Amino acid sequence: MEQPRIMYYGEKVCLRALELSDLDDITEHWNTYETRRFLNSAIPNSRASESEWLEKAAKSRPWADGELVLAIEDKGTGDFLGTVSLFDISKQHRRAEFGIAIHNPENLGKGYGTDATTVMLWIAFHVLGLNGVYLYTLIHNERAQRAYEKAGFQRVGIFRQAMFSEGAYTDVLMMDVVRDDFLERYPPGSRTGS
């Protein structure tokens, strides 16, 4: 008998624990240029490398390991969409860095990223009790910036020529959201979706 999975639901997605059985779904689109171009590296990863990462991520504990990585599923179909994470979780400062990857480029622009971001922020502030979440994104990644702003992130600064991407040094935008601002939209006892 399969154990029931604890999931967090948004309007379009649900977030659940990563499982080793997710490897095929992760590697199916992970090495496409469209998927990797806005991540820290456009260099492809081997299946062995992704398997090693998945094994570590599936076992990670927020306070002991400083990260939480969850799978994103389509709420209606159960299809694997990507991953969302909080990493460099600081116990002292009660903050973490945010990251998300929608793997199949065909799923971009459909609201999955905004919804998954909102649900992960709900977890950060309502479950983990963090006070702030921040992220870095390439200045020309406007689609992601719109999704982050819809979820509650604000622009806080620019690191000039901070990343080398697509043959040029590119500015990086820093964004953040703090607990008080998020709790205005989703107060204690609220849920992000149904």
User: What are the structural domains, with CATH classification, of the chain?
Assistant: 8-133 (3.40.630.30)
- pLDDT in single tens digits along all 194 residues of the chain: 344 467 899 999 999 999 999 999 988 887 777 777 667 667 788 889 889 989 999 988 888 899 999 999 999 999 999 999 999 999 999 999 999 999 888 998 999 999 999 999 999 999 999 999 999 999 999 999 999 999 999 999 999 999 888 888 999 999 999 999 999 999 988 887 55
Sign, Cα dihedral of 23, 24, 27, 32: negative
Classify strands 80-90 and 67-74 as parallel, antiparallel or unpaired.
Answer: antiparallel
Helix axes 142-151, 112-122, angle to 10 degrees: 40
Q: How far apart are CA 116 and CA 97, in angstroms?
A: 15
Q: How far apart are CA 82 and CA 62, in angstroms?
A: 19
- The closest of 193, 189, 183, 187 to 152, measured between CA atoms, is 183
> Which residues, 6+ apart, have CB-to-CB distance to 150 below 8 Å?
114, 118
Helix axes 23-30, 47-59, angle to 10 degrees: 130
User: Nearest 5°: phi and psi at 87?
Assistant: -135, 170
Q: Cα–Cα distances in Å, from 91 out to 65, 67, 87, 113, 176?
A: 11, 11, 12, 27, 18
What's the gap between Cα 73 and its chain centre? 12
The confidence score (pLDDT) of residue 1 equals 38
- Determine contact, residues 152/181, Cβ cutoff 8 Å: yes
